[in-house]
Amino acid sequence: MKRMGMAVLVLAMGVGFGLGGCSTAGKVKRTLALNDLHIRAAVAEDEGDWDEAYSLWSEYVDRRPQSALAEYRLGQVEMQLGLYRDAAGHLRVAHDLQPGNVEYIEALAEALVASGEQDALMNLMRRTAEEGPDGSGYLRMGRYAQQAGLLDEANEAFQLAIVQARGTSPEPYIAMADFAQAIDNTDLEIRNLRYALWFDRTNQTINARLQDLGMIPGPSLALRPEF
């Protein structure tokens, strides 16, 4: 009886090891297949074969639905194909999986602008205003609001960026000057360029813009920033 028991135990252990080996082999096979899909999809993107890239990334997402990178790449391919709402859907999943990833936030914002989803865009911008370096969230909000034609929201966002920076950077003043140029508000453009000049009075780009706007270069042209 003892010998029979030992034989059963050895047989059971052998079956267990065999099943474990099959399970491991299956995982390796699935991983290799996913890696192959990833490589082929990336090559298709590099070659500009968007239909092939779409097919491959779609298959990848079906096989591995919790991959933020795959959702992002599929969304980017859909943007190339003009499938803006589909792109927004996949990029939203990527953002949900990695909410602090600024690259995913901006890709989703571009898709929402392209698909005309203004409310969703502004909700996203407000929820992610603190993501990224200090002040960059409001600059991002202003930029995408402007792209979406939401000029009041863009103006408010650039003002918030200026307040948040508290006179430590020329970037929000330049952004406001660019916005002013886009809406043909020359006075606002000049004022913010003069604030930006305070940080570097020899900045050739800013000085050239001010000259084009009829201003005479000189030490008094720079203004201490207000915020």
pLDDT in tens, 107-164: 999 999 999 999 999 999 999 999 988 779 999 999 999 999 999 999 999 999 999 9
The rounded Cα 3 to chain-centroid distance in angstroms is: 66
What confidence tens digit (pLDDT) does each residue in 34-80 have? Answer: 899 999 999 999 999 999 999 999 999 999 989 999 999 999 999 99
Distances in Å between the alpha carbon of 118 and those of 66, 82, 105, 156, 225?
Answer: 27, 18, 15, 16, 32
| Reported confidence tier of residue 20, pLDDT bands at 50, 70, 90 | low
What confidence tens digit (pLDDT) does each residue in 38-49 have? Answer: 999 999 999 999
Element (H, E) at 120: helix 118-127
| Reported confidence tier of residue 218, pLDDT bands at 50, 70, 90 | confident
Where do the domains of the chain lie?
A: 32-115, 158-227
Task: Tell me which CATH homologous superfamily contains domain 32-115.
Answer: Tetratricopeptide repeat domain (1.25.40.10)
